[in-house]
């Protein structure tokens, strides 16, 4: 009997402790629908706001991941470990997870962040192929995602919980094609990775826009996979067609070697790239061949806009003189979009954060004023950058969204 009473007493104490414990609004799968408040004290019951960050921290694309994490870290420093929401400070934790630029790894990371870590939102990934692979996981769980550099149009078509901080491939392709045409290039050749969503989307957009302007694609060569290192056969074929410019819409791990090898096979025409060319490592790999290479970018560190100057100064000071590229700037902007949504959402739930992200209008960020469109793509401009002989890129011109 004594043992029985002891057991009953222990159970009562356990249930009492459980009843007195608040359930965090942002942890676990129920985070998308639940906001809890300690009504007795009048204080929110949220313990810690968790934000996931997904990017390639290791592997062949780790360079991009370095800039992404550094960009998010600037926001971390600004926040100082807490987010002030309607006069109350909430602890905030950024959970960085390595997707190794892999579709499979990205799906695994998304599941862990959503189901185990209970994040209220995810920043990233940066690659279209990874966003396309994992986006449905976030959509089905009702967890908002703001991709950083995933420019393929299909990314936000996954569903209404998927957003992005970058412009989309049709706009980027149109910018590149228009630049080529206005510069006087009437013929173009293309080398692209047919196994990558970013490269294929950008290629299609460039071809469509360039032809619409009156240009001619004299040759197009393909390869498959990011592990290819020798492009001499394809580039030799392209060179035989004497194009007035060469378009390389490929990823950072591939494109610098292509620039180098294009010059080695005798291609002297101007080279135009997509926004993946916006990192100093392009010059370090391509060497002297990088001089004159032009690329589309989301951002120029030479911008004199107040928000841009503030971001660049903070980034350089925090990262030992390193200058931010588009990976860093877009990661910063994606994170700032999430923070804005948290600070302005009626409730601290995934659903409410999603709804608030969709209302962003004229938010001042380093790249300019950003408005989220009905398709969850940002309405924003682009810039054209060019590498000099020293491997440093400089602002050429700006292009507005129209």
CB 133 within 8 A of CB 110: no
Tell me the pTM. Answer: 0.81
Would you state the pLDDT for residue 401? 76
CA distance 372 to 334: 12
Cα 360–400–176 angle (5° rounding)? 120
Closest CA to 363 of 168, 163, 174, 175: 163
Residue range 292-306, pLDDT digits in tens:
999 999 999 999 999
Strand-pairing partners, residue 378, are 372
Q: Crossing angle of helices 103-111/128-141, nearest 10°?
A: 30
Residue range 177-196, pLDDT digits in tens:
999 999 999 999 999 999 99
* Identical topology for domains 47-167+304-380 and 170-297: yes
Residue range 354-370, pLDDT digits in tens:
999 999 999 999 998 99
CA distance 34 to 352: 10
CB 153 within 8 A of CB 136: no
Residues ≥6 apart with Cβ < 8 Å to 205:
169, 170, 171, 172, 173, 174, 177
Fold of 170-297: Rossmann fold (3.40.50)
Residue range 306-327, pLDDT digits in tens:
999 999 999 999 999 999 999 9
Closest CA to 47 of 89, 110, 109: 89
SS3 content of the chain, % helix, strand, coil (to 5): 45, 20, 35
Cα-based distances in Å from 6 to 2, 16, 19:
6, 15, 20
Beta strand ranges found along 194-297 (DSSP E): 216-223, 245-248, 271-273, 294-297
| Sheet of strand 162-164: strand arrangement | 82-85, 88-98, 49-55, 121-123, 145-147, 162-164
Beta strand pairing status for 382-387 and 294-297?
Answer: antiparallel
The residue whose two tokens read 């934000």 is: 51
Q: Confidence band (pLDDT; 50, 70, 90) for 5?
A: very low
Strand-pairing partners, residue 295, are 273, 385
Beta strand pairing status for 216-223 and 187-193?
Answer: parallel
Would you state the pLDDT for residue 46? 60
Beta strand ranges found along 99-178 (DSSP E): 121-123, 145-147, 162-164
Residues ≥6 apart with Cβ < 8 Å to 188:
180, 206, 210, 215, 216, 217, 218, 243, 244, 245, 246, 247
CA distance 292 to 269: 10
With pLDDT > 70 as the criterion, what percentage of the chain qualifies? Answer: 88
The least confident of 26-35, 264-273, 385-394 is 26-35
Fold of 47-167+304-380: Rossmann fold (3.40.50)
Q: What 8-state DSSP symbol labels residue 168? A: P
Domain chopping of the chain, boundaries = 47-167+304-380, 170-297
């Amino acid at each position: 009997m004594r043992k029985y009473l002891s057991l009953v007493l222990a159970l009562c104490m356990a249930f009492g402790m459980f009843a007195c414990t608040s359930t965090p609004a942002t942890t676990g799968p129920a985070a998308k629908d639940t906001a809890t408040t300690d009504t007795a004290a009048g204080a929110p019951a949220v313990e810690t706001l968790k934000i996931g960050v997904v990017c390639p921290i290791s592997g062949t694309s780790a360079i991009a991941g370095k800039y992404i994490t550094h960009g998010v870290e600037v926001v971390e420093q600004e926040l100082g470990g807490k987010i002030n929401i309607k006069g109350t400070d909430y602890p905030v934790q950024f959970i960085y997870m390595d997707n190794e630029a892999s579709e499979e790894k990205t799906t695994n990371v998304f599941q862990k962040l959503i189901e185990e870590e209970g994040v209220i939102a995810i920043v990233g990934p940066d690659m279209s192929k990874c966003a396309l692979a994992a986006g449905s996981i976030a959509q089905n769980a009702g967890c908002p995602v703001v991709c950083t550099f995933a420019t393929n149009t299909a990314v936000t078509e996954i569903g209404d919980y998927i957003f992005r901080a970058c412009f989309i491939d049709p706009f980027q392709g149109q910018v590149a094609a228009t630049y080529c045409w206005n510069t006087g290039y009437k013929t173009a050749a293309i080398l692209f990775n047919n196994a990558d969503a970013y490269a294929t989307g950008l290629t299609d957009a460039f071809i469509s826009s360039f032809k619409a302007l009156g240009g001619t694609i004299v040759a197009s060569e393909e390869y498959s996979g990011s592990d290819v290192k020798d492009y001499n056969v394809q580039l030799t074929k392209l060179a035989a067609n004497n194009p007035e410019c060469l378009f390389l819409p490929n990823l950072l791990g591939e494109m610098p070697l292509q620039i180098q090898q294009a010059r080695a096979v005798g291609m002297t025409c101007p080279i135009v790239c997509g926004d993946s060319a916006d990192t100093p490592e392009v010059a370090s790999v391509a060497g002297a061949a990088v001089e004159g290479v032009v690329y589309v970018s989301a951002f120029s560190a030479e911008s004199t806009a107040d928000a841009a100057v503030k971001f660049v100064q903070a980034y350089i000071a925090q990262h030992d003189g390193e200058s931010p590229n588009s990976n860093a700037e877009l990661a910063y902007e994606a994170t700032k979009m999430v923070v804005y949504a948290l600070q302005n959402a009626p409730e601290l739930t995934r659903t409410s954060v999603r709804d608030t992200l969709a209302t962003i209008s004229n938010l001042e960020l380093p790249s300019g004023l950003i408005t989220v469109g009905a398709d969850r793509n940002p309405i924003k401009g682009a810039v054209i950058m060019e590498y000099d002989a020293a491997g440093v890129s400089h602002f050429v011109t700006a292009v507005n969204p129209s």
